[in-house]
Amino acid sequence: MKSESFKKPQVFCHRHQNSFMLKNPMTFFNETWLNQTPLFKFLEPNEAKELLKNFENMSFAEGETIFDFGDSGNCLYLVVSGHVELSIRDHTGQKIILKVAEPGEIFGELSLLDHGPRTATAIALETSQLACLGREDLIHFLKQKPEASIHLLSALGNQIRQTNNLVRARVAKNANEEIAGELGWTQKMADRITELAGSMSFLLANLIIFLVWIVVNLGLIPKLIPFDPYPFGLLTTGVSLEAIFLSIVVLLSQNLQATKDRVRADIEYEVNLKAEMEIGYLHEKVDQMNAVLLKKLDQIEKNRKGNS
């Protein structure tokens, strides 16, 4: 049974006008290569050959922008050779790399599916050959091969997972949560024992135990035989052992405090760095606004002199 022909794509992103577009779509890849990519592996050889006619092959030089954030999206890209970096800039102007697309991988599918603008900027990291498939052809292909939708959803899910990891890594961290995540059970136990030993309840408990011990062993309570008579050797040994263990636990807690201070210092450094970058970005914006205002004022002044 022969497959239906795919329609030729009609529109492309305006940035493609500056790129070298190949006349022969078979120059860099054929139906065999296309069948080896995850998205198009479900095609029969004759179907792959038919779909291949609807691809526009493009060559981008190193550092050339394929599309910018906010551009209209009307085609899906398949990396034939080279590497493409997908990135965005946050509100501080810092560049965030979302993904580096390798040969055989696709990108630009999100804008193609939801009719929205591009959500990232794509730049060729080296001389790269890309194959572009229009929206109508992609939808027609997915209707012909619904199983390919699974891979497309998988690619979208993987991108969402990577984005979530980036967001989680970039938000301001909670020092207490970071410290709790780095502590072992021995360190947590040492911290709790130190907290208990420094409490008023621990002091009162020791005071009551010592007082009862001394009163009983001095024979001040009738019918109770002293088990540790004066000079209270057993009590002295117990107090010495308690002091030794508590001193060790306190030392462990002090080392732990140094670790906590280091984590807090790292988080404070990250926060200060982000604040500094944001201030720098605001300064840059103000300078740009001043430049635009000065240019407009200069133009107004020239127009006024020309009219006079």
The C-alpha atoms of residue 80 and residue 21 are separated, in whole angstroms, by 14
Give strand ranges (E) for 113-219. Answer: 121-124, 128-134
The C-alpha atoms of residue 142 and residue 18 are separated, in whole angstroms, by 30
Give me the tens of pLDDT residue by residue for the chain, a chain 308 residues long. 333 433 333 333 444 444 433 334 334 467 777 777 777 777 777 777 777 888 888 889 988 889 888 888 788 888 888 999 988 876 656 677 888 888 888 888 777 777 778 888 899 999 988 988 887 887 777 777 777 777 767 767 776 776 666 665 555 555 555 565 566 677 777 778 877 877 888 889 888 988 888 888 887 777 778 888 888 888 888 888 888 888 888 887 777 777 777 777 777 877 777 777 667 767 777 777 777 788 878 888 888 877 76
The C-alpha atoms of residue 80 and residue 27 are separated, in whole angstroms, by 11
The C-alpha atoms of residue 52 and residue 38 are separated, in whole angstroms, by 15
Q: Sheet of 121-124: strands edge to edge?
A: 65-67, 121-124, 84-89, 95-101
The C-alpha atoms of residue 237 and residue 181 are separated, in whole angstroms, by 38
CA angle 36, 122, 113 (to 5 degrees): 65
pLDDT at 254: 78
Closest CA relative to residue 263, chosen from 157, 202, 195, 179: 179
- Strand, helix or coil at 78? strand
- Strand, helix or coil at 41? coil
CATH code 2.170.120.20 for 14-170: no
The C-alpha atoms of residue 288 and residue 294 are separated, in whole angstroms, by 10
- Strand, helix or coil at 150? helix
Closest CA relative to residue 100, chosen from 85, 118, 87: 85
Give strand ranges (E) for 102-145. Answer: 106-107, 121-124, 128-134
Q: What is the pTM of this model?
A: 0.47
Residue found under tokens 């040969």:
103
pLDDT at 189: 78
Closest CA relative to residue 75, chosen from 153, 157, 8, 156: 8
